């Protein structure tokens, strides 16, 4: 068996998938290259829906190509910021929202998620997930904006009402080259 703890994004998704069943609605807040989008689309099956957001045309093209190559048709691609997710999905209806923050792999590294918009997107995610749902955030602090973003997210998450949410945070403490970190929020 391979070591899941060394593959942070897969660890994040493995926990997230335990909250999803066929027929659910889920959100890929940052579709990027479409890897998470494909995993989510398979998890909800043909009866379910995935809403995938990204502001970059190149991310949409990569995701469209990946979806097409896998024969997946249950994804609604939105070339919009994730802050608009609650404009497309009714409150308290999504099983999961997944954020993979930072910049598009292989893309322009000057285009990144930012603390302000991410916090706005996380608030939208909390409105959108149903009771028993999960918000998964994979954070990267190896660049200046990522470090500020992570700090703001963790401060925000620490203040969430414990009577309404459970929050878990995973950091690979002895890894020195800024490995991704995970934040999970479940709604009671």
Query: Has this prediction a pTM greater than 0.85?
Result: yes
CA atoms of 28 and 31, how far apart (whole Å): 6
Q: What is the pLDDT of residue 143?
A: 82
161 lies in which domain range?
Answer: 4-187
Rounded CA gap, 50 and 89, in Å? 10
pLDDT of amino acid 176: 75
Query: pLDDT tens across 97-115, in order?
Result: 999 999 888 888 888 999 9
pLDDT at 2: 67
**CATH number of the domain enclosing 178:** 3.40.50.150
What φ, ψ does residue 74 adopt, rounded to 5°? -100, 30
- Pick out the chain residues at pLDDT < 50: none
CA distance 53 to 37: 10
CA atoms within 13 A on the CB side of 58: 8
Enclosing H/E stretch for 170? strand 165-170
The domain tally of the chain equals 1
């Amino acid at each position: 068996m391979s070591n899941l703890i060394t593959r942070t994004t897969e660890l994040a998704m493995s926990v997230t998938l335990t909250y999803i069943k066929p027929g659910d609605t889920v959100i890929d807040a940052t579709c990027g290259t479409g890897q998470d989008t494909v995993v989510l689309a398979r998890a909800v099956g043909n009866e379910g829906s995935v809403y995938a957001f990204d502001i970059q045309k190149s991310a949409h093209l990569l995701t469209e190509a990946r979806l097409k190559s896998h024969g997946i048709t249950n994804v609604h691609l939105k070339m919009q910021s994730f802050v608009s997710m609650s404009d497309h999905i009714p409150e308290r209806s999504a099983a999961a929202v997944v954020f993979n923050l930072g910049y598009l792999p292989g893309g322009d590294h000057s285009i990144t998620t930012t603390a302000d918009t991410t916090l706005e997107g996380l608030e939208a995610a909390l409105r959108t997930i149903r009771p028993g749902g999960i918000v998964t955030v994979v954070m990267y602090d190896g660049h200046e904006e990522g470090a500020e973003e992570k700090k703001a997210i963790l401060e925000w998450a620490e203040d969430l009402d414990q009577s309404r949410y459970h929050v878990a945070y995973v950091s690979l403490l002895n890894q020195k080259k800024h490995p991704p970190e995970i934040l999970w929020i479940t709604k009671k």
